[in-house]
């Protein structure tokens, strides 16, 4: 699909609200590409690490302590057999998210169904971040258990496919983003994961998203080795451009190849904190274009042809990261700034 969004707006996912109360309709009106809200403060089960975890073999959910972990002390063979039976049967419905885990998803489906449109967005947690966050009973990260990691990858791939099917029932075109905040630690002593394995893990999920006819994205809200993400089959890259736009300049060849195959950048340009009160949409748009010019200049020094204007139609505008960690009042100001920032960015 030739996707030229020309600074359309969307958001990352999480919101600070504890009740829906018309939130999805508000998001639909405020965004060019509505994304369903993850209400991480509403209930424990709407944490991004919980809401996609149902069905994983050996997973224990301790609601009283608000904790989940893998119990590998007991034989996981029966649970693994049941999991892979569903997976190999291509039983996508068996990987559905429950309403109590994702109230915002079901609410947004109803809102979108009532108003025709072209695009919408979903999201799923990435296997690297999930695997580093969720441990076994001995506090060993599940990422380092090959058996569990394979199940996590396939579970997230099927959760993404199920989402796309639901979203395509109300909008013909879907963006599905894989959230990988822990990619910020890639290459450090904190993560024992090589480049090839990271790419393969993400590409398996991207392939599943493509299988359902959606565009696949990846979100990292801090700096990382962007060459790893650009080397995957991802269609759009969502980064915190308010804080880390210039870091893309370290990878001009990879960025050039990404654009040549139709890639889109979702610039997380609007700060997702009280910092929103210290800037204006005009300043943010000017900041973006200065950054694009710097990317082009840096690429030229390295012998790579890259023009700032190339991004004019190949860009989305988002908040720097999810809004779940801020207040409702700040989130509202971010959404208000988002659309005006995009309009200013289009003017160049």
**257-289 pLDDT tens trace:** 999 999 999 999 999 999 999 999 999 999 999
Work out the mean pLDDT of the chain and round it to a whole number. 95
Average of per-residue pLDDT across 56-85: 94
Residue 189 has pLDDT above 80, yes or no: no
What is the Cα–Cα distance from 54 to 9, expressed in whole angstroms?
31
Domains for the chain: give ranges and CATH numbers: 8-347 (3.20.20.210)
Residue 342's pLDDT band (cuts 50, 70, 90): very high
Helices (H), the chain: 23-30, 77-88, 103-113, 127-133, 146-168, 195-211, 226-230, 241-244, 252-260, 281-301, 328-347
**Residue 308: DSSP 8-state:** G
pLDDT digits (tens, 9 = 90+) for 295-338: 999 999 999 999 999 998 999 999 999 999 999 999 999 999 99
Digit-coded pLDDT (tens) for 102-134: 999 999 999 999 998 999 999 999 999 999 999
Q: Secondary structure of 269-300 in the HEC alphabet?
A: EECCCHHHHHCCHHHHHHHHHHHHHHHHHHHH
Distance (Å, whole) CA 25 – CA 41:
19
Highest mean pLDDT among 65-74, 151-160, 238-247: 151-160
Q: How many CA atoms lie within 13 A of 31 on its CB side?
A: 29
Residue 222 — left, alpha, or beta (φ > 0 → left; ψ -120 to 50 → alpha)?
beta
Average pLDDT, stretch 53-63?
93
Element at 71 (helix H, strand E): none
pLDDT at 188 over 90: no
What percent of the chain is predicted at pLDDT more than 70?
99
- In this predicted structure, the answer to whether residue 348 has a pLDDT above a threshold of 90 is no
């Amino acid at each position: 699909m030739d996707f030229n969004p020309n600074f359309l707006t969307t958001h990352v996912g999480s919101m600070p609200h504890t009740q829906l109360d018309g939130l999805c309709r508000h998001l639909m009106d405020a965004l060019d590409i509505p994304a369903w809200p993850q209400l991480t403060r509403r209930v424990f089960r709407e944490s991004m690490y919980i809401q996609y975890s149902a069905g994983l073999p050996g997973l224990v959910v301790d609601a009283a302590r608000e904790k989940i972990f893998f119990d590998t002390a007991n034989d996981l063979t029966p649970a693994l057999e049941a999991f892979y039976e569903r997976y190999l049967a291509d039983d996508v419905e068996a990987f559905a998210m429950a309403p109590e885990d994702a109230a915002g998803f079901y609410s947004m489906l109803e809102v979108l169904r009532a108003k025709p449109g072209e695009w919408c967005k979903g999201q799923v947690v990435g296997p690297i971040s999930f695997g580093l966050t969720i441990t076994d009973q001995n506090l060993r990260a599940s990422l380092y258990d090959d058996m569990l990691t394979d199940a996590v990858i396939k579970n997230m791939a099927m959760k993404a496919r199920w989402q796309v099917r639901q979203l395509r029932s109300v909008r013909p075109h879907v963006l599905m983003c894989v959230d990988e905040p822990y990619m910020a630690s890639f290459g450090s002593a904190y993560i024992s994961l090589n480049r090839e394995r990271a790419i393969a893990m993400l590409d398996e999920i991207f392939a599943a998203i493509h299988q359902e006819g959606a565009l696949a994205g990846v979100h990292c809200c801090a700096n990382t080795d962007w060459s790893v993400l650009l080397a995957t089959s991802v269609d759009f890259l969502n980064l915190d451009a308010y804080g880390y736009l210039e870091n893309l300049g370290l990878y001009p060849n990879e960025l050039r190849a990404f654009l040549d195959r139709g890639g889109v950048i979702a610039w997380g340009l609007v700060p997702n904190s009280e910092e929103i009160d210290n800037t204006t949409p005009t300043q943010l748009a000017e900041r973006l274009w200065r950054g694009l010019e710097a990317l082009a200049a840096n690429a030229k020094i390295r012998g790579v042809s890259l023009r700032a204007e190339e991004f004019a139609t190949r860009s989305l505008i988002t908040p720097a990261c999810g809004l779940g960690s801020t207040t409702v009042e700040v989130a509202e100001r971010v959404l208000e700034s988002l659309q005006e920032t995009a309009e200013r960015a289009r003017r160049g």
